[in-house]
Structure 1
Amino acid sequence: MPRRMANVEFRNYQWQHRFDDHIAPLNRLVDELCNGGKVPYIAPIYGGINSKMLSILRDPGPKTQIEDNGSGFLCLENDDATAEKMCELIAEAGIDVSEMVPWNAYPWYINRAPNAAEIKTGIDPLKKLIDLLPNLRVVILHGGAAHNCWKKFTRCFPNIAEERGLSIIETYHTSRQAFWHPDEEVREARRQHLRDSLRRAASILHETEMPNHRQQR
Structure 2
Amino acid sequence: MPRRMADPAFRAAQEAGRYAPHVRPINEMVDALRGDARGWLPHVAPLHGGTTARVLSILRDPGPATRDGAGSGFLCIENDDPTAERQLQMFTDVGIGAADITPWNAYPWYINAAPGAAQLDAGVAPLVQLIELMPDIRVVFLQGAHARAGWERLARRHPVPARRVEKVVATFHPGRQALFHRDPEVRRARAEHRESAYRDVAAVIR
Same fold (TM over 0.5): yes
SS in 2 for 1:14: helix
**Distance in 2 between residues matched to 1:35 and 1:179, nearest whole Å:** 36
**Distance in 2 between residues matched to 1:7 and 1:184, nearest whole Å:** 37
**Is 2:31 aligned against 1:31?**
yes
**Distance in 2 between residues matched to 1:165 and 1:151, nearest whole Å:** 14
Cα deviation code 1:68-112 (max 9, x no counterpart): x20000001001011010000000011111111000000000010
Residue 200 of structure 1: aligned partner: 200
SS in 2 for 1:108: coil
- Cα 1:44/1:51, change in 2 over 3 Å: same
Q: Is the 8 A contact 1:50 1:134 kept in 2?
A: yes
SS in 1 for 2:35: helix
Cα deviation code 1:169-215 (max 9, x no counterpart): 11010011211111111112111111111111111001xxxxxxxxx
Residue 138 of structure 1: aligned partner: 139
SS in 2 for 1:66: coil
Please list every run of 5 or more consecutive structure 1 residues that lacks an aligned counterpart in the other structure.
207-217
- Cα 1:174/1:122, change in 2 over 3 Å: same
- Aligned residue runs from structure 1 range 6-85, under 5 A: 6-36=6-36, 37-67=39-69, 69-85=70-86
**Distance in 2 between residues matched to 1:188 and 1:8, nearest whole Å:** 37
Q: Where in structure 1 do 4 or more consecutive aligned residues deviate above 2 Å?
A: 158-162
| Aligned amino acid, residue 18 of structure 2 | R
- Aligned residue runs from structure 1 range 95-174, under 5 A: 95-162=96-163, 164-174=164-174
SS in 2 for 1:141: strand
**Distance in 1 between residues matched to 2:177 and 2:158, nearest whole Å:** 31
Please list every run of 5 or more consecutive structure 2 residues that lacks an aligned counterpart in the other structure.
none
SS in 2 for 1:170: strand
**Distance in 1 between residues matched to 2:160 and 2:153, nearest whole Å:** 13
**Distance in 1 between residues matched to 2:161 and 2:12, nearest whole Å:** 37
Residue 187 of structure 2: aligned partner: 187
Q: How many residues align?
A: 204
**Distance in 2 between residues matched to 1:159 and 1:42, nearest whole Å:** 25
**Distance in 1 between residues matched to 2:183 and 2:94, nearest whole Å:** 26
**Distance in 1 between residues matched to 2:116 and 2:60, nearest whole Å:** 11
- The alignment-based identity, stated in percent, is 46
Quote the offset at 1:158 in angstroms: 2.2
Quote the offset at 1:165 in angstroms: 4.2
Computed over aligned residues only, the root mean square deviation of the Cα atoms, in angstroms, reads: 0.9
